[in-house]
Structure formats: structure tokens, C-alpha cells
Structure 1
Amino acid sequence: MIVRILGEGQYTVADDHLDKLNQLDAQVQRAADAEDEERFAVALRALLDAVRTLGTPLPDQTLEPSELVLPEGDMGLAQVRALLSDEGLIPG
């Protein structure tokens, strides 16, 4: 799957890593629900770091349709809340 991190770029991430990303996404959602900015920032960084670690960056000149779009790491809770669905940042 192709994952875009806003302001950074796209990564190809194997589908078998989706469970790990969903676990991290659940932590982001719980922190957002609790309105805990500090815990939210830590959870979001962990999710983005996992995409960077598990994924392979696409070249900057390549533009593929993204199946998942994640916020920049420095976005605050209020900004990201607009992107969150009932299922978090990652559906499923």
C-alpha cells in the first residue's frame, strides 16, 4: 500500500504491516479521545516512525495515489482531529 505523510512524501508499506500500524493508530485515537496533547504527540510520532521504518520511500518525482494519508509529525491535536474518523487515521 502507498502511505503519504503530509509534508514529507510517500512510502510503500507491505500489507502485512497493517496490523502494527493499526495498533499504533489506536494509540493515537485513544490519546485524541482523552484530549491528551503530550500522549497524542508521542503516539503520532510512533506511528509515523513505523511507516518510515517499515516502508520504502518513493522517489520525490514519483506520485502515486495514496491509500493512507497521515498528518505531519508536528501537527497538533486540534489540527489532526479534523482528519480522524471513527476508526482513527487508518481505516480497518
Structure 2
Amino acid sequence: MIIRIMGQGQYKVPSSLFDELNAIDNRIVDHVTKGDEKAYKQDLAALISKVKQNGKILAAEELVESDVIVPPEDLTFTEAKDVFTGTGIFED
């Protein structure tokens, strides 16, 4: 699975990690829905960290379509309301 973190490149992440990343994504949607900005920021940072720790960064010149695009860690809470809706960024 290829995941792009906006502004930080693409990572090849084992597909076995999908369920864990999807669970974090679902929590982020819940935080945004409930208006919990602090929990949103913590889980977005956790999501990005999990991708970086478990993924292998792809070379910048390697052009591969991303399966998932993760917004940058500095995405504002207001902007998150447009991104983290419904099922979130990870499709079940």
C-alpha cells in the first residue's frame, strides 16, 4: 500500500497495517465530528508517525500512484472538517 503524507513524500506500508491505520482514521473522524480538536491533533500525529515508522520512504523520482493521501500534521481543525468526513481517508 502506498501512502502519501502531503509535504513529506510517499511511503510503502505493509497492507497488514491497514486495519490499524483505518482505526486511527475512524477515531479522527469521530474527534472532528465531536469538535475535539486536541484529540484530533494527537491522533493525526499518531497516524503520520505510524506510517513513517512502518513504511519505507520512496525516492522522490519514483512516480507511483498513492492509495491514500494523508494531510500534513499542521492541517487546521477547520480544514479537517472537510477532509475527515464519512469513512475518513481510508476506505473500508
Q: What's the TM-score bracket when you normalise by the shorter of the two chains? A: over 0.9
Q: Which residue pairs with 2:15 in the alignment?
A: 15
Please, which moves more after superposition, 17-26 or 77-86?
Answer: 77-86
Report the TM-score when normalising by structure 1: 0.93
Report the 3-state secondary structure (helix = DSSP H, G, I; strand = E; otherwise coil) of the residue aligned with 1:10.
strand
Q: Given residue 12 of structure 1, which amino acid in structure 2 is its aligned partner? A: K
Report the 3-state secondary structure (helix = DSSP H, G, I; strand = E; otherwise coil) of the residue aligned with 2:91.
coil
State the identity %. 28
Q: Which runs of 5+ in 1 are unaligned?
A: none
Q: Which runs of 5+ in 2 are unaligned?
A: none
Instruction: Tell whether the 8 Å contact from 2:12 to 2:56 is kept in structure 1 after alignment.
Output: yes
- What's the offset of the Cα at 1:75? 0.6
Matching of residues 1-92 of structure 1 within 5 Å: 1-92=1-92
Report the 3-state secondary structure (helix = DSSP H, G, I; strand = E; otherwise coil) of the residue aligned with 2:86.
coil
Distance across 2 between alignment mates of 1:68 and 1:59: 17
RMSD, aligned α-carbons = 1.0
- What's the offset of the Cα at 1:85? 3.6
Report the TM-score when normalising by structure 2: 0.93
